[in-house]
Structure 1
Amino acid sequence: MKAPLPPDESDRLKALHSFEILDTDPERQFDDVVQLASAVCGTPISLISLLDADRQWFKARVGTDDVETPIDQAICAHAILQEDFLEISDTTRDPATADNPLVTGEMHLRFYAGAVLRTSDGFPIGTLCVLDREPRELTPLQRDTLKVLARQVITQMELRQALRRAELMRREVDHRVKNSLQSVSALTRMQARYAVNQEVRVALDHVQRRIDTVAALHEQLYRAGKGGHVNLNEFTSNVWTLVGASAPTGVEMDIAVPQIEVEAATAAAIGVVMNEFASNAFKHAFPDGRRGAVSCRIDHDATSARMVLSDNGVGMKNKDGRASGLGLQVMEAAAQQLGGEFELDTGEGGTRIALRFDLAPEVETLHEEARLDGPADSAPA
């Protein structure tokens, strides 16, 4: 006998389809459940059965090669009309199953027990069921075990659904943040282009580089998807390229950074220091078209890293090692954010700063150190 439709069939099907699980590949965590259910209940067949409009589809199965059956053969369609459980000790004696082809045909099913898979919103979308070819009866412990395992199946499905929705929301937020940063950067660039005052133009260029640095960090976070960690080599290379687009003619940019993962806050502070140092070098270190180079090096051990930024320009007029300019103050503030030590050395051979900072315990060295070398005026804007 074909089971009647649940009174909320339309909403029930919407709930089922929202899990996006129908016709997916087998997965161990679900396969383990049916293996355990079959072992605990002593039955040759166990299924995670999901009831679609015209079929029952098996997410996991033991004891049968069938992946689905027509809905009019689904004993589980009778089970979902119950509150939480249906047991039929002898299917040949129950009116709901006596004429079922799975009972009268080659499958020769004689026993059925199913725990309803009910969502947190109350919709029955299927069952965790066990079947046998001999009449029998489950013990209270076996029934309770099936019910517990059924709740675990629903919990797993709903957790995946929540993670998928969270990922979709994250992507939407990332997309909007990216667009906003691009809009602000474009507006700043436009204002700098039409600014009459040279100091205003330089300030706007500086602001734009900072925005682009934040955008580069955001891009790394989006691509990484590792809980707030970014690849330091990729991030610093992007920052160096962005900063290098403003380098004077004849000033080369050089960088060597290991392939390690760092926290986003650490990467952001490093990006600020790189931006400020290079900007100061472009402005002060190479007067009158002087040629030179600006370099960034990062080395690390198991617990800490050391960044060295240097130029071979004319050096700062203030040689007492104190940060007198705004840029140096910003760099010192970033160093304090990292909880590291900040060193400054400047003279006729150029300016050099060194910054040591701790690495998170889970820092991962990905590959051997990668290098990016080349003239700044060849970098894309």
Structure 2
Amino acid sequence: MISAPIPFNEISRLSSLHDYNILYSGNETNYDEIVELASFICDTPIAYISLIDSEKQWFKAKVGIDITETPREIAFCAHAILKDDILVINDTLTDKRFADNPLVTSDPNIRFYAGAQLTTEDGFNIGTLCAVDKKPRKLTEDQLKSLKFLAKQVIRNFELRKLNSNLTKQSDELKEQNVIKDNLLKVISHDLRAPFNSILGFTELLKENINHLSKNEIKLISSSIAETSENSYELVNNLLNWAVLNQNDEKEKSIIDLQEMLKQIISVLNGLSTKKSISINTIFNDTISVKSNYDMLYSILLNLISNSIKNTHNNGEINIEIDSSTSEVQIKISDNGVGMSNKQIDKLLNANNFQINSDQKGENVTGVGFSLVKNFLQKINGNLKIDSIIGLGTTIIINLPNN
């Protein structure tokens, strides 16, 4: 037996195959009908649609055989995908490539094989439509022509299947975006109106009573105005980030030095952490990089670290660790702040986008920041886990593809 060599364009060929997302999918009537028709036209007891993956031959549809896959090294179709035209073996016992092949010497005892290439629109042979018999034979020109025509129908079905899948995905994404936008408008209406009303109220109080207020009272009111303004600015900034980045292509990726990104974020948040005398420690040895969307990942880490600072007591500590020893890059942000209950964690993780949450003081604040984190993590194929104990602190773990 002679196994087929690997095609020179194997990486691109496999990529084209995987784009269809059809390997190991369930039975589908249109493909079953094509192999039935191929068997009828070619007058063979066996017909199948074979797809050649990196290590296996897998049958999308079949008639006359029970097996669903074989090792690639014994696949007739692995030879067929190397050719530009249909591969025909009238008698396998007279062909040194196949005479002692297990598929010839044992079940299904192939003696005749004809495989028409499944050629994608971009020119890659990803498999074959085959007609097989247990005895030597020949096909007529009309039968060969029909087999090649049916192979083209298989590819057209693959393309239609991919198109429908993409349309469904786009439709789902549009529905999700519409839900997010509806919730976003509710948050804008609630969370922007309240702080501005508060600021207007405080400024009116100062304007009308400036000559009657003590220095401490003026200082207290001014501090309230400043704090409310900072919260409003952060809210607006998060909303703008979400709006701008959602218009961009989330697939736009670059190589990101995580240590450098964290240094920049810690520097940006230095004023907030210094004000509370909070130390931020980074724990990593070697340079660790990921391939991801820079702006989205930056917004995720900025929001989470900023939130950790806000929920950590004065003179507290925040530790940031990075680990790339597994198939994922793990970023762990731990603080010794107020912590959360399991109920609060579940509510935070499972809430719809842009809900209203409560801060450590029990005051109503926007959930835009965390909703942005969840939204962006989903877009960059990341995930998040929260461990927390009330009074002891919170650990947030982000997992990103290690590519």
TM normalised by structure 1 equals: 0.49
More strand by share: 1
Q: What TM-score does the superposition give when structure 2 sets the normalisation length?
A: 0.47
Structure possessing the higher radius of gyration over alpha carbons = 1
